[in-house]
Amino acid sequence: MSRAEAKHSRSSSGRSGGSHRAALAQTVELAQAADRLGYTRFWVAEHHSTPGIASSSPEVLVAALAARTSRIRIGSGGVLLSHYSALKVAEQFRTLEALYPGRIDLGIGRAPGGMPRTAAALRDGRPDAPERFPEQLGELACFLTDTVPTGHRHEGISAVPLIDSAPQLWLLGSTDRSAQFAAGLGAAFAFAHFINGSGGESVVQSYKRSFRPSALGAVPEASAAVYVLCADTDEEAGRLAASADLQLLRQEKGEFGDVPSPAEAAAYPYGKWDGLRIAENRKRMIVGGPETVRNRLLAFSRQYGVGEVIVVTTAYEFGARLRSYELLAQAMRL
């Protein structure tokens, strides 16, 4: 039986009535707990002008988390490359790799990370930014591996600091497009099952078949990200997960906000359509007590053909998130 290595890839989420300052402090505490409990990696996302998420600058958070942990790999899940210079991103993560050798992951995403006006502000009005993503990605790979080709417009430019290792490059996505980018570059790939609960298995297999070895990686490396909430019992996990159910439902209605409490979720006036959407969204989740979660996670890893699973955990109370980490680590024998 394949063993799923539970990880964590989650932004600094705010709870209803909480503050972004508190959310960031709790992210540090969660990373330290993950380090202590035996998790493999801890990733933080990039979102902008989103009230419910405090993580807008993953490179800064990665530095803070790496400084406060000792073993676990720290990374971005992920940097939204189309907003930035490939050279600047390469230099930021080379600096992190120089400071914390062998512990830095550079995850790259294609999403805008916010509403259209926010994305436009980040790109400073450059309308061609999304279309340039494949070109930027190739430039980033060259800067990370010191392989800018002769005749390229960036020939002779190096990403400093000059070091003998590189952060591991991951492409993140919920469709086949990012998988093919990763395969063509020889980079690792993570499928976002917590965003798109259908078709991910075939996307991962396509990535593996199309993989081309490079200076970034000799063999394909894939993982899949799924929402997981583990509590002492199946019933308690279901009660706590109602917060995520309502948050996802509201997001589908264009209402973006903090994580609601289980009490608020229980009192919400759900309609027939709401119940159908919650049932559909639960296909992106693994919720239950330790034994239930262990069995479903192992089945999930076999289904995807991956040896690593990224755990995305949302709960109203910080204590419930921390407890989920602890129970999951015990259940998976980390």
Q: Which tens digits make up the pLDDT trace of 215-237?
A: 999 999 999 999 999 999 999 99
Query: Residue 15's pLDDT is what?
Result: 57
Query: Residue 10's pLDDT is what?
Result: 43
Query: Residue 256's pLDDT is what?
Result: 81
CA dist 110 and 100 (Å) reads: 26
Each domain of the chain, given as residue ranges in start order, spans 5-331
Quick one: DSSP state of residue 13? B
Q: What is the mean pLDDT of residues 37-66?
A: 93
* Inter-residue contact 13 to 25 (CB < 8 Å): no
Is the predicted pLDDT of residue 333 greater than 50, yes or no? yes
Level-2 CATH architecture, domain 5-331: Alpha-Beta Barrel (3.20)
Query: Residue 123's pLDDT is what?
Result: 82
What does each C-alpha distance from 28 to 8, 70, 255, 307 come to in angstroms?
13, 13, 28, 26
Is the predicted pLDDT of residue 255 greater than 80, yes or no? yes
CA dist 144 and 217 (Å) reads: 12
Is the predicted pLDDT of residue 2 greater than 50, yes or no? no
Query: 33 by DSSP, 3-state: which?
Result: helix
List, for residues 124-155, the tens digit of each pLDDT value: 767 777 788 999 999 999 999 999 999 999 99
| Token duo for residue 128 | 């061609």
Q: What is the mean pLDDT of residues 15-22?
A: 74
| DSSP assignment of 243-271 | HHHHHHHHHHTT---PBPPHHHHHHS---
Is the predicted pLDDT of residue 111 greater than 80, yes or no? yes
Is the predicted pLDDT of residue 194 greater than 80, yes or no? yes
CA dist 38 and 238 (Å) reads: 26
Is the predicted pLDDT of residue 17 greater than 80, yes or no? no
**Confidence at 70, pLDDT banded by 50, 70, 90:** very high
Q: Which of 174, 173, 114, 169 is CA-nearest to residue 137?
A: 169
In whole numbers, what is the pLDDT of the chain averaged over residues?
A: 92
**Confidence at 14, pLDDT banded by 50, 70, 90:** low
Query: Residue 9's pLDDT is what?
Result: 37
Query: Residue 267's pLDDT is what?
Result: 97
What interhelical angle do 318-331 and 290-304 show, nearest 10?
Answer: 70
CA angle 245, 247, 251 (to 5 degrees): 120
